[in-house]
Amino acid sequence: MNYLDIINKCLYEMNYKQVNDIAELTKTEHKRLLSAINTVNKEVCNIENWNFLLKRHTAELPEETGEIDIPVNGKILHIFIDGEEYSFCENLKPFLTVNNRNLHKYSILNDKLLFKPFKENKQLDIIYYTKNCVIDENNQEKEDFENAADKSLIPMPFAEQVLVYGACLRVKGNPQYFKFSYWLSMYKEALLNLKSKTSISAQNSPEINLLRG
């Protein structure tokens, strides 16, 4: 379901006229709706470390430098060099001294990744949670919905319920509104389904312990 589909679902829920093009959305209420959809999409993507936001990126660390600009837009989960994992270290001192040749760690300073200097170029294998929440028709990620064909990184069918009911709640924002309770229950249900059904790892599944007498 793309951005225009989500908009029209919201308009239908709020008993407004649906549109054929985003350019038709000129009223104040329309602008609030567009903002609400983006806000809900970002909020949901940021409340958990979702599997659907996990990405992989490779970057080159030049020899004898020990630092590169952070090459990803998101929260780093793992960094591997030559198949070995490097863990994050908040203490910057080891990276600013010469006595760090055996350090299997990295740190961050001024939007740069810091490592021990290597005698040759090294390839970083980075696993991270992207901060982007939207993908366009050319499969390019970005943070916000802009064009009709844009889609949320939240997988279907969860994206429809989460974004439509969440956005309607934000636009109306009045618990006394006759559809408010319905939207709220559907939004909560969609979030629960998203949490319970998007895990792809057996390690995150419920455990069953068999006790022997």
For residue range 33-76, what is the model confidence (pLDDT) as tens digits? Answer: 999 999 999 999 999 999 999 999 999 999 998 899 999 999 99
Contact 81, 113 (CB under 8 A): no
Q: Using N-to-C axis directions, what is the helix angle for 28-46 and 3-13, rounded to 10°? A: 120
Q: Which residues of 122-154 are buried (b: 16+ CB within 10 A; e: fewer)?
A: bebebbbbbebbbebeeeebeebbeebebbbbb
pTM of this structure: 0.85
Among all chains, which residue has been given the structure tokens 């021990």? Answer: 116
Q: Is the peptide bond before 94 cis (omega within 30 degrees of 0)?
A: no
Other CB atoms within a 10 A radius of the CB of residue 190 amount to: 22
Q: What is the pLDDT of residue 101?
A: 63
3-state secondary structure of 98: coil
- Helices then strands, counting H and E runs in the chain, come out as 4, 10
Return left, alpha or beta for 66; rule: phi > 0 is left, psi -120 to 50 is alpha, else beta.
left
Other CB atoms within a 10 A radius of the CB of residue 95 amount to: 21
Q: Could you tell me the pLDDT band of residue 98, with boundaries at 50, 70 and 90?
A: low
